[in-house]
């Protein structure tokens, strides 16, 4: 396994829509393992393929508190099929370090996908799991959590990001 580099905003790749997976082979299995290693090392609770520069519809996630890297949940070609309720909570992103904001999300979701063994699965989640699923599926569509903020909050975050980029240059 290998740790992959995480792209940082404003990398254009993280704004592009990912392509569906049509076959699961050994190379894809290794990539999934590398994504999991990268997520745990970051440390993060979820990671989408575009965040590591690959426009494929794959996410890995692990919402558990113990954070033991056993084998995270892998979703291939995930699709949000049902959602209800709404709640606000703080959210951050590995692609946008040091920025967090209150983001509205559905409180409960149902996602259909394939696992790494090509078995169709349905994942139902609420709370943190629902938030992670929505956040990572957004990445597959080129959407970042800052896009879900009000216009005023989004502009404030963008100014902070520009200022940080100037300082780091």
d(CA 5, CA 8): 9
| The token pair that represents 133 in the structure block | 């699923």
Query: pTM for the complete prediction?
Result: 0.94
Question: Which pLDDT value is given to residue 68?
Answer: 63
Question: Which pLDDT value is given to residue 168?
Answer: 72
As a whole-number percent, the residues of the chain with pLDDT over 90 amount to 82
pLDDT in tens, 116-161: 999 999 999 999 999 999 999 999 999 999 999 999 999 998 888 8
Distance of CA 132 to the CA centre of its chain: 7
Q: Is 120 a catalytic residue?
A: no
CATH domain 12-168 topology:
Peptide Deformylase (3.90.45)
For the chain, the domains span: 12-168
Residue tagged active-site, from 37, 84, 136, 155: 136
Compute the average pLDDT of residues 13-41.
96
């Amino acid at each position: 396994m290998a740790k992959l580099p995480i792209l940082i905003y404003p990398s254009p790749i993280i704004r592009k829509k990912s392509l569906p997976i049509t076959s699961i082979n050994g190379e894809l299995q290794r990539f999934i393992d590398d994504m999991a290693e990268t997520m745990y090392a970051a440390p993060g609770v979820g990671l989408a393929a575009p965040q590591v520069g690959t426009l494929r519809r794959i996410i890995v996630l692990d919402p558990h508190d113990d954070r033991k890297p056993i084998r995270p949940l892998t979703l291939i070609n995930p699709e949000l099929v049902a959602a209800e309720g709404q709640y606000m909570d703080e959210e951050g992103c590995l692609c946008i370090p040091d920025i967090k904001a209150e983001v509205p999300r559905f409180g409960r979701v149902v996602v259909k996908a394939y696992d790494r063994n090509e078995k169709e699965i349905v994942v139902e989640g609420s709370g943190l799991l629902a938030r992670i699923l929505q956040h990572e599926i957004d990445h597959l569509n080129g959407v970042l959590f800052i896009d879900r903020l009000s216009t005023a909050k989004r502009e404030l975050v963008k100014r902070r990001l520009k200022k940080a980029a100037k300082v780091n240059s």
